[in-house]
Amino acid sequence: MKEKYLLELGGENTELGKHEALELFTTEKYFPRLILDKKNIIVIEVSKVIEKLVIRRLGMTRRISRIIYYTKEEKIDEFLKDIPEIKIENYSFAIRVIQKKEKSESVIAKKIGDKISIKNKIDLTNPDIKILYYENGKSIISIYEKENYTYYNKCLEHHIRYRPYFSPISIHPRIARSMVNLSSCPLSGTIIDPFCGTGGVLIEIANMKIEAIGIDILKKMTEYSKGNLKHYNLEAKIINGDIKKLENCNFEAIVTDPPYGISTTTKGEGVEKLMERSLDLFAKKMKTKQRLVMAVSNPELVQNKNYTTIHKFEWYIHKSLTRYILVMEKN
């Protein structure tokens, strides 16, 4: 039986958040179909109820709720008159309005509350579930269960300020997480980061219970990765050496944030030559349709005939730096 879900996306990059969700649900065989797109609010129809572990993989979705009523009727009185009792078992609840046009939240909450049994306790502080109302071209009532949380806020525990070892140029946990979800790697797979640095991407891979492999040419960085993973009680296989070590590894996808400046991180090779060598090396190991997801400052450096770019997202850092998230498939 098909289900509909309402996703409230973070405001940082709604296109990235939308495609992260669509790609993740596709990978995990939910066969998603986008049926409403209002930038920060999207509605997706899927083939079955989404499991908690899959929901918790999401990094760019603030909240996901299961839709129980979905209609084109915008007048709430007309909308609600044909709705039977809203059954929520023995859960306590609160009613929240995501977006409305005319009536106040208290009026809407009263009207929806009249559809719920008086046996159910109202708890505005810590309810078991939240009943959400959204109105903008559609009228939607959805249910958010607190155990079905995404990692939008939770992954901030992995921010560099909380790690024992960090680099100031480490990628944001939400971005790292979304990159993993864009890789088409299932929970049963393995992802490799051939430029693992202090382990920001590895932390998100391992946290999702996906097998993680990291490579870095600097011994210091591999030690930092091990220390950060240990700090979060996570595990990954860490290899010190050149990216050629990747030839001895088996994996379903590559997700990485390569160095973008000429420094000790490239052992003097230079980013342009390093990227050219890396892409050719990756292509020899990857299978057709496997994905390479990279965060780069200059997309021109990663153009290669062995790949087709599926998605490109801009991530504004500050006035002098924009990162690009590239999702590429091996031809």
Residues composing the chain: 331
DSSP of 102-163: SS-HHHHHHHHHTTB-TTSPB-SSS-SEEEEEEESSSEEEEEEETTS--STTGGGGGSGGGS
Distance set, CA 23 to CA 128, 167, 180, 263 (Å): 29, 29, 10, 35
pLDDT at 264: 45
pLDDT at 188: 92
The pLDDT profile of the chain, 331 residues, written as one tens digit per residue, is 899 999 999 999 999 999 999 999 999 999 999 999 999 999 999 999 999 999 999 999 999 999 999 987 667 777 788 788 899 999 999 999 987 666 678 888 888 999 999 899 999 999 999 999 998 878 899 999 999 999 999 999 999 999 999 887 788 999 999 999 999 999 999 999 999 999 999 999 999 999 999 999 999 999 999 999 999 999 999 999 999 999 999 999 999 999 875 454 555 667 888 999 999 999 999 999 999 999 998 888 888 999 999 999 998 877 677 889 999 999 9
pLDDT at 22: 98
Ordered strands of the 129-135 beta sheet: 33-37, 41-46, 3-9, 61-71, 139-145, 129-135, 93-99
pLDDT at 79: 78
pLDDT at 167: 82
Domains of the chain plus CATH, in order, are 3-145 (3.30.2130.30), 154-330 (3.40.50.150)
